[in-house]
Chains A and B, each alone.
Chain A
Amino acid sequence: MVDTAVDTPITKLTAALAARRQAGEVVVAPFLTAGDPDLDFTFQALKVAQQAGATLCELGVPYSDPIADGPVIQASYTRALNAGGTLEGVFGLAARASEQLTMPLVAMTSYSIIFRRGIDRFVGEAAAVGLTGLIVPDLPIEESSLLAKACRQADVALVRLVTPTTPPERAARIAAESTGFLYCVSVAGVTGERVSLPQQLKDRVRWLKEQTDVPILVGFGISRPEQVREVGDVADGVIVGSALVRHLEATSGDQRQTALASIAQHVGELVAAGRAG
């Protein structure tokens, strides 16, 4: 590294995103539920995702009442919690993955979990296990000042979300406050695969690009290579959640290897689509 700056969580994330963009590729960021069906499986899945070319991975912290999630992720969270999933376990997985993999990890977590842990404690622990950023889908900017401060102090990214229902002035404000990257939600609704993306999505992303210097990743409803190409024309990358989490629906016994192979193949196809442009 020629960069003399001290390595911090957020610089690891920023560098990974920048490297991929400089290579002219679309960033592919898979989402995986931590601990579905168990933590070791999730580690293996992260590993194959990295090998398949994922730029970063979103680690979903299971939550009992995820109101922004559709049935696939909801069911996955329920499986993880029923299997005895805890926050300690998620942090342990993150520590192992940060040590053995190069790909940065970002946690997707409900504010309920952060608040209960204590904001400073949660962020400190997240940074200590190598998480580079947090996405908190149920925390709008008005309520986020304490968490934003803790993240700044720990050099952990706080990734904000803009949605199709966000008015322009508000979207500009959110974009300006987002660190690491900006999460552009493609559709109004919960997570889950969609057959088609809204027409206005490209215009919104182009407009958002003018509001911020951080990369823009588009998520919700993305599952197929042609969507990666379509979104990759304007955005820096895509986040793929429910479509990958579907591969976790059958993971007992012999099915584990099949599920891992499916994840690897799915991520690989999306990454390849993002290189073709």
Chain B
Amino acid sequence: MATSTAPHRSYSQVPDPLGRFGDYGGRYVPETLSAALDELEQAYTEAAADPAFQQELDDLLCRFVGRETPLLFADRLTEYAGGARIYFKREDLSHTGAHKINNTLGQGLLALRMGKRRIIAETGAGQHGVATATACARFGLECVVYMGAEDVRRQAPNVRNMRLMGAEVRPVESGSRTLRDAINDAMRDWMGSVETSHYIIGSVVGPHPFPKIVRDFQSVIGRETVAQCERDLGRMPDMVVACVGGGSNAAGMFYPFVDVEGVRLVGVEAGGRSAQAGSHAASLSHGQPGVLHGSLSYVLQNPDGQTSDVHSVSAGLDYPGVGPEHAYWHDAGRVDYTSVTDAEALDAFDLVARKEGILPALETSHALAWTVREAASMPPEAVVVVCLSGRGDKDAAEIARLRGFSEELTHG
């Protein structure tokens, strides 16, 4: 219990009307998009105040997504780590297999309110692409998904699923052919189609009001977790852990906790092959403030302001920036950001598969790797919740390839 009588600082009263999270955020976009962002902000403000909107979204989250997602005690993993009790917030059990659907349904409903019948999205791991294709199929909207050509290769099952639901997947061949290039092309599409299309951005990145909207739609994760901890454990967790690429599952998980004292929040970035520039995607751990994709946040760039190449074994974390609210929490010291390597994430994937019977997404495996290591040094009565942001079926073939499994061996 805190003994200080000073009022504790609130971290939840952001962004301001210009989309600022402390020094970060804002709206750095071509003028062509300004009016559409104003329109979106207004539509969202009205929707947020409309009980019918929230009810429709809640109903979809319940019946279509399968919320609430469980809070599961990972007993064998806890035993293995030999320290704090580890719980999984099972976003992997959401329809489409990840938290991304929370946001795409919300933004899909907003698009309907604005009368926009065409949806654009970018995707890295393909989870956001699938979630967008799913929402579009459900709402009868046209769907175009931009995806880096490298990611099309390594996340093939998701590409197939998007196409099966009627979405058009456009491989992006420019630049590093990953998430960053997919965002560039999605924004370029939007520049020319802004009057009839809505861009469903997949993370808490981009120009205002996207970081706020995505955070709000994803905050259902953290709100449920708070309620489940109260109900099932009778207490708040000591630590909450989530992986951070752009940072949407982490923002949604952390936001309801930022003003809860005594809960340590930890974001785990992609440490890639090493801490050398170009070998990782850890913007908060190794980057500095800069402007990318419409907002001011931590970015990985060279001294001239050119975006650096990044690397992660996980396509969803393979991004040289991070949401501006994370930059704010980082500087304020409210959330600790750390990173784990490709190899550690792959080991955590194996470990959780064998100990818990869950194939976690490679993105999520980063959070799991750090959790297992940290839990070991915590007392057995301590509680750690890790956001199990997505399932790993999409990664299974690539991991088998990296592990050198042949089909023959796996049957042996």
A residues in contact (CB < 8 Å) with B: 63-70, 74, 78, 81, 86-87, 110-117, 137-140, 142-143, 160-167, 170, 174, 185, 187-190
Contact = CB atoms under 8 A, between A and B. Distances in A.
A67 B187 contact: yes
A113 B192 contact: no
27 contacts: A65-B175, A65-B307, A67-B29, A67-B187, A67-B191, A68-B188, A68-B191, A70-B188, A74-B174, A87-B304, A87-B305, A112-B301, A112-B307, A113-B305, A113-B306, A114-B305, A115-B290, A137-B31, A138-B28, A140-B30, A143-B28, A162-B31, A165-B32, A165-B194, A188-B195, A189-B32, A189-B192
Interface string B10-25: 0000000010000000
A34 to B, nearest CB: 12
A163 B28 contact: no
B242 to A, nearest CB: 26
A65 B306 CA distance: 8
A75 to B, nearest CB: 8
Contact of B184 (A65, A142, A161): A65
B30 A161 contact: yes
A165 B195 contact: yes
A111 B292 CA distance: 9
B59 to A, nearest CB: 34
B188 A111 contact: no
A138 B194 CA distance: 16
B305 A117 contact: yes
Contact of B306 (A64, A139, A161, A165): A64
A7 B303 CA distance: 32
Given A115-B289, A163-B32, 6 more contacts: A67-B293, A81-B306, A115-B291, A115-B305, A174-B31, A188-B194
B28 A65 contact: no
Contacts of B307: 64-65, 112
A65 B305 contact: no
A112 B305 contact: yes
A140 B31 contact: yes
Contact of B305 (A116, A140, A167, A190): A116
Interface string B151-193: 0000000000000000000000011000010001001100110
B180 A65 contact: yes
Contact of B31 (A67, A110, A185, A189): A185
A143 B304 contact: no
Contacts of B293: 65, 67
Nearest to B303: A116
Interface string B278-299: 0000000000011111101000
B27 interface: yes
B304 A139 contact: no
A69 B296 CA distance: 20
A165 B27 contact: no
A187 B193 CA distance: 11
B188 A86 contact: no
A70 B175 CA distance: 14
B291 A111 contact: yes
Given A65-B293, A116-B304, A137-B30, A188 B192 contact: yes
A112 B30 contact: no
A188 B305 contact: no
B32 A167 contact: no
Contacts of B305: 63, 87, 110, 112-117
A142 B27 contact: yes
B338 interface: no
Interface in B21-57: 26-36
A60 to B, nearest CB: 14
B306 A63 contact: yes
Contact of A138 (B30, B35, B36, B174): B30
A164 B32 CA distance: 7
A64 B194 contact: no
B29 to A, nearest CB: 6
A74 B172 CA distance: 13
A67 B188 contact: yes
Given A116-B305, A140-B27, A167 B35 contact: yes
Interface in B286-332: 289-294, 296, 301, 303-307
A80 to B, nearest CB: 11
B176 to A, nearest CB: 10
A65 B172 CA distance: 13
A26 B288 CA distance: 45
Nearest to B19: A142
A112 B292 contact: yes
Contacts of B32: 68, 163-165, 185, 188-189
B174 A166 contact: no
A142 B18 contact: yes
Contacts of A81: 306
A143 B23 CA distance: 12
A139 to B, nearest CB: 6
Of all A-B residue pairs in the complex, the 6 with the closest CB atoms, nearest first, are A116-B305, A189-B192, A113-B305, A68-B30, A67-B187, A112-B291
Nearest to A161: B31
B315 to A, nearest CB: 18
Contacts of A188: 32, 191-192, 194-195
Given A65-B180, A189-B191, A115 B35 contact: no
B412 to A, nearest CB: 46
Given A115-B291, A139-B28, A165 B296 contact: no
Contacts of B192: 187-190
A143 B27 contact: yes
